[in-house]
Amino acid sequence: MGKADPLIRNTIRTLRFHHDQMTQRALAEKIGVTRQTVNAIEGGKYSPSLEVAFRIARAFGVPLEQVFQYGEAAPEEATTTSSPDSRPA
Amino acid sequence: MSTSFEHKSVWITLVSLIVVLVAYSIPAGYLLASGITIMAPYVGLFIAAVVLQIVIMIFGHIAAALVSRPEEADERDRLIEWRSEHYSSWVLGAGVFMAMMLLATPIAKVWPTHLLLVSMFLAEILKATLRLVSYRRGF
């Protein structure tokens, strides 16, 4: 009671936009998942495994914390949120 | 949003399971209602049902492969499958338990056999349904 829900946010959509408007399919092929999974991650419906999270960060050439943020305060560039019910792999 | 090959595969599996369950249940139900308790006619029906399911699965997956590029299941697909199986296995477990209880009674073996069969089909149908719900609602 009274404890705010923690949130996992990501900036994948923004990062894709800044990387020559990379498509979800192109990102999916780079990180070895389906386009639907990229869409689910981006939309905050699925929290990826650490391995996939690192692959996403590597695909954009940025540190992991620039792609995913955990906490109550939303960073400026955060585009999506997910609930803690989205189980990590 | 277009669905993945894995998502389509689950739909094909669900449809095939329902078709096969209905195709088997109607003649088998008729035989059971007629009081036939020897296994032979049911075995023939079951083999026909399995062949029907294989045919539906093959043609369904060929059609799915034509409309979307087949791709390997990724970690999300596997996670969705594991979670769905976790819940659906309870149905199969309950069926097995009840069939074991029935085997301890003098009832004809055809009844526990069909209880096992039905629980197996229902567990698979539940699993496919839960997978589709997970794909739809997000996971």
Residue A52 to residue B137: CA distance in whole angstroms: 21
| Contact call for A37 and B74, based on CB within 8 A | yes
| Contact call for B139 and A87, based on CB within 8 A | yes
Tell me the per-residue pLDDT of B29-61, one tens digit each, with 9 for 90 and over.
Answer: 999 999 998 999 999 999 999 999 999 999 999
| Contact call for B4 and A34, based on CB within 8 A | yes
Q: Which domains does chain A have, with CATH numbers?
A: 11-75 (1.10.260.40)
pLDDT recorded at residue A2: 40
Which chain B residue has its CA at the smallest distance from A53's CA?
Answer: B75
Which chain B residue has its CA at the smallest distance from A45's CA?
Answer: B138
Number of compact structural domains in chain B: 1
Checking B123-126 for CB contacts under 8 A at 24+ apart, the result is B123/B88, B123/B89, B123/B91, B123/B92, B123/B95, B124/B13, B124/B17, B124/B88, B125/B14, B125/B17, B125/B18, B125/B21, B126/B84, B126/B87, B126/B88, B126/B91
| Contact call for B74 and A87, based on CB within 8 A | no
Residues of A with CB below 8 A from B3's CB? 36
Residue A25 to residue A74: CA distance in whole angstroms: 27
- A16 residue type, one letter: R
Which residue would you say has higher pLDDT here, A77 or A73? A73
Domain of residue B95, residue span: 5-137
Residue A73 has pLDDT above 70, yes or no: no
Would you place residue A74 in the very low, low, confident or very high pLDDT band (cuts 50, 70, 90)?
A: low
Tell me the per-residue pLDDT of B72-118, one tens digit each, with 9 for 90 and over.
Answer: 889 999 999 999 999 999 999 999 999 999 999 999 999 999 999 99
| CA-to-CA dists, residue A82 to A40, A45, A78, B116, angstroms | 10, 6, 11, 40
- A66-75, B43-52, B61-70: range with lowest mean pLDDT: A66-75
Q: Which two tokens stand for residue B14?
A: 């669900």
Nearest CA-CA distance, residue A87 and chain B, Å: 7
Residue B138 to residue B76: CA distance in whole angstroms: 10
| Contact call for A40 and B138, based on CB within 8 A | yes
Assembly ipTM: 0.73
Q: Which two tokens stand for residue B48?
A: 């026909």
Tell me the per-residue pLDDT of B12-31, one tens digit each, with 9 for 90 and over.
Answer: 999 999 999 999 999 999 99
Nearest CA-CA distance, residue B74 and chain A, Å: 5
Residue A85 to residue A46: CA distance in whole angstroms: 9
Residue A38 to residue A16: CA distance in whole angstroms: 11
Nearest to A46 among B6, B7, B138 (CB): B138
Nearest Cα residue to A35 out of B38, B134, B3:
B3
Residue A70 to residue A81: CA distance in whole angstroms: 10
Cα angle, residue A58 at apex, residues A65 and A62 outer, rounded to 5° = 45
